[in-house]
Amino acid sequence: MTFLIHPQTTMGRVHLTVADLSRSLTYYQQGIGLELLRQEGKTAFLGTGMVELLMLTEQPDAQPTRGTTGLYHFALLVPSRLELARTLQHLLDAEVPIYGASDHAVSEALYLTDPDGHGIEIYRDRPRDQWEYPNGKLKMVTEQFDADGVLGELKSMGAGWTGLHADTRMGHVHLHVSQIPAAEAFYQDLLGFAVMARYGAGASFAAAGGYHHHLGLNTWAGVGAPPPAEDTARLLWYEIVLPDTAVLDQLIQRIEAAGLTVEMGDYGRIVADPAGNNILLIAS
């Protein structure tokens, strides 16, 4: 019987290193619209509605990384098309560079890059009853973003920008990996995420509970790409959030039974995927 991760599994915080914390805080607060919830020394905790979504730890002189495994982007899910419109209007008004925008059939998304080269997606989901399954497979595409249609949501509501909506959450995390087969063996066969879609041989999208994807996995940095060096701005870990401790313990036992090491970190138990991307496993 195929093992499936609990359907209520979600994504949690993403922890990154940055070269200049003050510069990053300006970008993420004034540009992206996250709140600074607290700061402990060189680590800042940002989020929305008192929910932590992003941790930034200063590592002076850290350089952007290319051609390695690690973060492709983290994706902030806003609760509606109106909130995406408000965000888009703010980005335009504040002249925050937007590097891409796409309609993925299941969602509409904006793409940005922070001062350290970390990728960011801000997106809204279409209702699940509008998702299409031709030939039994979830339809996920990359098509032209309807900017006029999105901004048209503001006509009767007004922009009213006060930062990202309090219900914004970490929707998914997209990773550079070194090998797709090894990544799928880990995330699907071991952890129990279901592969929902593939883009050729270079990208795979996996999820819990029938979502379009909680995890993106790609080899666009190169097949066999190495982990980032420790002197670079990089992903330290991202969170997979299980619904309770019993489910968490079951998953950890499964990982350890496969011969992998689960270490105790400062914020919880950590396991590395085959590409060296660290995952913090926690219960909600």
pLDDT by 10s per residue, the chain, length 284:
689 999 999 999 999 999 999 999 999 999 999 999 999 999 999 999 999 999 999 999 999 999 999 999 999 999 999 999 999 999 999 999 999 999 999 999 999 999 999 999 999 999 999 999 998 999 999 999 999 999 999 975 555 688 999 999 999 999 999 999 999 999 999 999 999 999 999 999 999 999 999 999 999 999 999 999 999 999 999 999 999 999 999 999 999 999 999 999 999 999 999 999 999 999 99
Q: How far apart are CA 162 and CA 150, in angstroms?
A: 18
Overall size of the chain counted in residues? 284
Contact (Cβ atoms closer than 8 angstroms) between residue 208 and residue 6: yes
Does a structural domain hold residue 101? yes
The helix, strand and coil proportions of the chain, stated in percent and rounded to the nearest 5, come to 20, 35, 40
Does a structural domain hold residue 3? no
Contact (Cβ atoms closer than 8 angstroms) between residue 65 and residue 234: yes
Does a structural domain hold residue 62? yes
Does a structural domain hold residue 5? no
Domains of the chain: total: 1
Does a structural domain hold residue 4? no
Residue 113: domain span: 10-283
Contact (Cβ atoms closer than 8 angstroms) between residue 114 and residue 73: no
Global pTM? 0.97
What CATH number should be reported for the domain holding residue 104? 3.10.180.10
> Phi first, then psi: what are they for 86, rounded to 5°?
-60, -40
Does a structural domain hold residue 173? yes
40 contact partners, CB below 8 Å, separation of at least 6: none
Residue 269 corresponds to which amino acid?
A: R
Tokens of 6: 């609990």
> Phi first, then psi: what are they for 223, rounded to 5°?
-65, 130
Does a structural domain hold residue 171? yes
Does a structural domain hold residue 2? no
